[in-house]
Structures are given as C-alpha cells and as structure tokens.
Amino acid sequence: MSMAGVNGRTPGARGDSRAASPADRLKAELRIWWREIDRPLLLLVLLLMGIGTVAVAAASPASARRLSTSDVALSDLHFFWQHLVWQTLGLGTLLLVSLLPRTSARRIAVLMAGVMSVCLLLVPLIGVEVNGAHRWLNFGIRFQPSEFLKPAFAVALAWVLSWRLRETDLPVIQATMAFTAVVIALLMMQPDLGSAVIFAGVCGVLLLLAGVPLARLGVLLAAGAGLLLAAYVFYDNARSRIDAFLGGGSAYDQVDLAWRTLLAGGWTGTGFWLGTRKLSLPEAHTDYIFSVIGEEFGLLICAMVVVLYLVIVLRALMRAFDADDLFTMLASTGLTAVLGGQAFINILVNLKLFPSKGMTLPLVSYGGSSTIAICLTVGLLLSISRRNPHLSRTTPGLARLFGLDSRVTTPPRRLAAVASIHRDADR
C-alpha cells in the first residue's frame, strides 16, 4: 500500500502544517480567527468608530478655534486629521490583540496590570499636570496610566478570582479588594474621581459574579460612599462640580453648556458644521462630543448612539454568560463594564444627570493614548471571548447559573464546583 493510502494524503501536501509556507499558516490563522471571533460585536464596534469619525469632524472646528492663539492658528480640521491617525493605530491594536489566543491575552493583560500599577505610583512624583490634575506621564510620549490599567485591571482581577475553582482557601477576595483600594487611593491623589468610580464598579461587578456574599459587597459600597464624601471634603474641584450638579448649575457651567448644546438641534439637528452653540463648549471634541452630535445631527442620532452602546454591552454579556469557564465569564464581563461604564457616565454628564468627570466617550471621542487604550479593551474582549462555533461544548456554559440555558439537564462537574463555591461563600 502506498504512503498516500496509509495517511490519506501524500507527503508535502498543503494539509501538512510542517510543509505549509508562512503565508499558508497566516491564512489558516486568519480563517480560524474569523470563525471564532464575535463578528457581530466587531461590526458594532466598527460602526461606532465610524460615527466617532464623523462626530470629531463636526466638533473639530470648535476646539481648533478655541485653542488657537495669535501665534499659532489651528485649521478647522486639525483634530479630525489627528483623530484619523489615532483611530488607525487604535484599530490596528484592536485587531492584533484580538488575534491572540486567550491564554496569551491573559498573560499580556496581567503583565500590563503590573507595569501600569508601577506607572500609577510614579504619577504623583513625576506626573505631568494638565487642567489642574496630575494624571499623565511623559516618557517622550505622553500617556495616562489609568487608561491602560482599566482593561488590564479587569482581566487581572478575573484571573485571580478564578483561582477559587482550584483552591477555595486562597484569600483571593482580600487580595482583590486590597489591590482595588491601592489603585483607588493612587487615583484620588491625582485627583481622578471618575476613573476611581470605574475601578470600584468593575471590582464590585466581578466580586458579585464570583459569588462573594452581599455583606462583603456592602462593605465595598460603604467604602465607595466614604470615597465620595472624602472627595467632597478634601478636593475643591470635586466639591465645586458636585455643588454645581446639586445646585442646578449656571449658564456658564460646562455641564449646563453641554446640555444646552445637546438640545439646540432638536430632533433632527442643525446640520453638519451648522451648529453654533458648540463654539462656546469646552472640550467639544472629547468630553462633550455627545452634545455636539445632538446639536448637529439631532436627538434621534443621539438615541441611536445610546442604543448602539446598549446592544454592544448586551451582546458581550450574552457571550460572557455562555462561557464554559469562570475566568472567561469574569474577564469578559469586567471588560464590558469598563467600556459600558465609561460610555454611560459620559452620556449622563452630557444629560446633566451626573457631575462632570472629565471622561471621554469610548470609540467616539477624539483621543491619543485613550483611543489606543479603549481599542485595547475591545481587542482583549474579542480575544478572550473567542470560541470555535463548530465544537460541541463539554459544559452548558455558566449561563446555566443564571437560568439562561436549559439545554443540559444534568449539572456538569465544573458547574457543580462553581455552585459549591457559591454555597461556601454564602455560609
């Protein structure tokens, strides 16, 4: 019998990975990536980035004219052209990270969490001051460590909390809360109350999903309330913003200006580049770009943007709850909380429903390192949630714990272990 009759193919055939060329291997990897990636989520993200490109083009004249001086006059599309560069870099980052296997993505995120935590320690010492806050480091390239720490923090906490499946006696809850407390303390030294709220929220969501008793979560909520009280007492900037929010503000407050700009266009908007209120709006291309969208494109388009964020969050959570291991569920949920939390805080600020936080609108606002960081967040989410749709799972997914999956009637061994952890945590 010939060799071909023994193994079903001749030596050196294209199906033999050892004889495949680098180009063939790359094509095979891309085919696997395209099969396993959450394509609807990727398309939704790309649609939101496209809306952001148009929105920055609309907001660029307002910011360019506001920042122009007698010596340097910025062109009306100055921030638009820069945004295209940063979006290209961000999209490249997103796609490259999404190509990583889940294990590699986890390792990179955990390493980044350590590096960015060290950078966060350096911010009070050598940080660069912008608008009265020390949040940036400048090593030839200026960046904000907290922005890159957000996705890494979510993955690192998910990894630590998933250890409970292997060893229930490990003090992972104490370690998680201690790390979160250190990060929040460093953020308040800058001060950066908005990011502190995001980190606290991500920690609370992951602890809840990991089966932590509600009594311990109550401690976390009390600590959050204490944090807000401390910010009000010790930070003039936070006090003034909270007072302005509670007192209704004035016609010259940033939040009030943003709200008036948002409503100026009515349901259908004034038209592209025809808005006038945006010219008096500070940070029109970053923090308050949602209001620019409202003025020039109308409240209907604003509603569409909100719906897009909701669909992205729901899509990511549905895939997370259908995961077959605890780490994947926690990491995907934590990354979704980072993206969704930042988006809805920004939108609520523009609607005068939340004090001003100096937080950009993810995937829409202009940004340098912040654009790269949010694209890194999405890339990690896509990588960690990758799944071969043609393989039958050995478990029904963690959605079973939430009553979302009735396909399997017998609890598998892994879900039994997770349920045991939840019972132990409740005692």
pLDDT of residue 316: 95
Residue 212 CB burial class (10 angstroms; 0-12, 13-18, ≥19): buried
Q: Which residues pair with 291 in a beta bridge?
A: none
pLDDT of residue 95: 95
How confident is the model at residue 400, as a pLDDT?
46
Q: What is the pLDDT of residue 196?
A: 87
Q: What is the pLDDT of residue 409?
A: 38
CB contact at 8 A, 87 and 153? no
Distance CA 48, CA 54 (A): 10
Q: What is the mean pLDDT of each run of 10 residues along the chain (427 residues)?
A: 45 52 85 90 96 94 85 88 95 95 94 94 83 76 90 95 77 87 86 85 88 71 73 68 61 75 89 88 89 94 96 94 87 95 92 81 90 95 85 50 44 45 45
Alpha-helix runs per DSSP H in 99-144: 102-126
Distance between CA atoms of residues 231 and 182, nearest Å: 16
Taking phi over 0 as left and psi of -120 to 50 as alpha, with beta for the rest, 22 belongs to alpha
**The pLDDT of residue 124:** 84
3-state secondary structure of 174: helix
195: part of which helix (H) or strand (E)?
Answer: helix 193-209
Classified as helix, coil or strand, 128 is: strand
Predicted pLDDT of residue 251: 44
Q: CA dihedral defined by 180, 181, 187, 191, rounded to 10 degrees?
A: 140
Tokens of 187: 């953020």
Give the CA dihedral 204, 205, 211, 212, nearest 10 degrees: 10
Q: Is 412 helix (H, G, I), strand (E, B) or coil?
A: coil
| DSSP string for 263-317 | HHTTTT-S-TT--SGGGG-TTTTTTTHHHHHHHHH-HHHHHHHHHHHHHHHHHHH
